[in-house]
Structure 1
Amino acid sequence: MAFTAEQLAQNPSFVVSIRFLAGQMRGLFDAGPRLARLLASHQRWLLTQTAYALHLEYNPQDPTSGFTAVRLTGKITAHKVASRNTVLAFIEELFTYRFITHTPGDERRRPRHFEPAEVSHQAMFGWLHSNLGALDLIDGGNRAAFLRENPLLFRQIQPRVAYNCLEDGNWREPPEQVAMFLWTEAGGMVIDHFMSRLDLEGADLSRLAIGKVETRALAGDFMMSRTHLQRLLAKGAQRGCVGWYDEKKSQLWMSRDFLTEYVGWQAIKFAYVDEAFEWAKVQLESADA
């Protein structure tokens, strides 16, 4: 049985899984910074996951299927995630940096179909594998290993996760404090960085230590302006989400209230990942029976 979002949010081990995934996402960023930025804000996460899901549905016999500008725009604008112009600019960026290509033979056809480049396939598979590995930490499961042994399951799991997340307003619209970070450019990378360094053993009932944060170095690392990062941290401090232990603003903390809100929101996606994995596994076992 797959975990529900409520079960995950209430499980004391779940925050360790989130910290693990945050570390994995940092590794993805280090391996390919420009590609990793596609998942670095919530809007881009939704755009990327939806575009990939559309691609996996492509049927050469049906020209209306697959990843086209019209189909992605329709999905995204229907849920008010982004404007048509934003979607088209996003596709242009993917194409410019060769994260997607035209489907062979479609270069001059209408509608043009796009497909992910190999580096994009690897990154999305790595994202799913890391999420399953994070779930395994909770119950000692073998989801990640099972996916490695049955990689074709990925084609069933990813679209199911993407569409469930897109259609769930609680995931699509993060809680206010989380949204303050996640809807901003590179905000997702900042939160992942903080989560990966979180000291979960501290005795303070209201705060958890993140450790030393040098804004100039971190901003350069994430290819964002230092002013943008400082403004983001100042907003977070105003709301009590994060703050500094010292006047020099080097030692940072995160509030337990913010962590609880973030964990509850992440539980929604993780529950959809677990549900899609269990569903795909049953489909596979039924076909083998």
Structure 2
Amino acid sequence: MGRVLDFPPHRPASSGRATGTNPTGKPSELIETEQFSSAVFLLARSFAAAYESLPWTAALFATQQRRLLCHAALSDYFLAVRRVGAGLTRSGFGSLARQYGIASRNTAYAFFDEALRYNVIRPVAGSRGGPSDEVGPTHSTLSMLIRWYSLHFQALDLIDGGGRAARFLMEPQRMLILIEPLAAHALLTSREVRSPGPLHAIFASGDTGGFLMDRLIAGIDPETVVGQGRLLTNVSSISSLASSLGLSRAHISDKLAAAESIGAVGWSSRRGRSRIWISSGFYQEYARAHARKLGILDDAFTEACAILASFPIKSAATSDS
């Protein structure tokens, strides 16, 4: 396990985007930019494709609770690496989940055990090189995290023509050690991120429900977003949708029925035999959630670049040998 330098816990994100033009003030300002809808579709389609290709790993981010648990765990891991070169413990993870109000200790322990069972995390040597109860992300998990950040930086670059993704991918593991704790704390303590709206409460609280939202958004024609009350998707078969997400038809039907009850989705003609539409409110809630997240990640990127400029890192650690 490599050792890395420790850094100041906070630096004001005032040095400007290293390779962008600072499009992100408030989320509402970001939404109003010309290319924002293109960024939203890039994310939706990328997430939907990621789930279909790597369902077990992507499922870690499939619900709101799982996403928050992942960020809490990864943040603590990278902070531990910066301090002593060690990792995350099961008991420490349970405390984190309680501290941030994400889940009970038992739920956190079950999530931890599942991640260990499916090789999402693995045991690592202690700070002195001997056996320990500490774990860290596997190579495949780090690769997925790098991809996750890269996609969001690509989305920001699409908005303002910046080069965040290229800068990040120059030294992704070094950047992660700084960016993830900054971004995770902001995401975990943001009221707007934690409670984005009624549709997220319906979809993102259940198994892979977040990817169901991604799939519906990905199925819209981007040219129809502006000025439309109902946005027609290319989804017409609940069975196909359930199969692609690894869920039962009944589960998908229940989610859609709940969304339909508040006017968020519907059928263009015969129920179950025609294309599904989503309301403009559905799209707007989804877009606002991404705007909040993109603003947070942009600030974390800026701060990480400033720290790296002052404290160059010579090595970074992962849990794979």
Fold shared per TM-score above 0.5: yes
Equivalent residue, structure 2, for 1:11 = 33
Equivalent residue, structure 1, for 2:315 = none
Q: After TM superposition, list the pairs within 5 Å mapping 1:219-258 onto structure 2.
A: 219-249=242-272, 250-258=274-282
Q: Deviations over 1:215-272 (max 9, x none)?
A: 1121121111110000000111111111110114330111111211221122111101
- Cα displacement (A) at 1:150: 2.9
Percentage identity across aligned positions? 28
- Would you say the 8 A contact 1:95–1:101 is kept in 2? yes
| Match for residue 277 of structure 1 among 289, 301, 309 | 301
Aligned alpha-carbon RMSD (Å): 2.1
Of the structure 1 ranges 65-74 and 150-159, higher mean CA displacement relative to structure 2 is found in: 65-74
Aligned residue for 2:231, secondary structure, equals strand
Name the CA shift for 1:214/1:282 in 2 (closer, same or farther; >3 Å). Answer: same
Equivalent residue, structure 2, for 1:169 = 191
Aligned residue for 1:57, secondary structure, equals helix
Q: Give, in whole Å, the separation in 2 of the partners of 1:73 and 1:107.
A: 23
Q: Give, in whole Å, the separation in 2 of the partners of 1:61 and 1:271.
A: 27
| Match for residue 153 of structure 1 among 172, 175, 179 | 175
Equivalent residue, structure 2, for 1:183 = 205
> Do residues 212 (structure 1) and 230 (structure 2) align?
no
What TM-score comes out, normalization by structure 2 length?
A: 0.83
> Do residues 262 (structure 1) and 283 (structure 2) align?
no
Q: Which amino acid aligns with 1:73?
A: G
Q: Give, in whole Å, the separation in 1 of the partners of 2:39 and 2:207.
A: 24
Structure 1: 4+ residue segments shifted above 3 A? 59-63, 105-109
Aligned residue for 2:76, secondary structure, equals helix
- Cα displacement (A) at 1:56: 0.9
- Cα displacement (A) at 1:27: 2.8
Q: Give, in whole Å, the separation in 2 of the partners of 1:136 and 1:145.
A: 10
- Would you say the 8 A contact 2:52–2:245 is kept in 1? no
What TM-score comes out, normalization by structure 1 length?
A: 0.92
Of the structure 1 ranges 73-82 and 266-275, higher mean CA displacement relative to structure 2 is found in: 73-82
Q: After TM superposition, list the pairs within 5 Å mapping 1:99-118 onto structure 2.
A: 99-104=120-125, 109=132, 112-118=133-139
| Match for residue 77 of structure 1 among 98, 104, 108 | 98
> Do residues 196 (structure 1) and 218 (structure 2) align?
yes
Q: Give unmatched runs, 5+ long, in structure 1.
A: none
Q: Deviations over 1:121-148 (max 9, x none)?
A: 1000100001100111101111101111
Q: After TM superposition, list the pairs within 5 Å mapping 1:47-62 onto structure 2.
A: 47-59=69-81
Q: After TM superposition, list the pairs within 5 Å mapping 1:131-142 onto structure 2.
A: 131-142=152-163
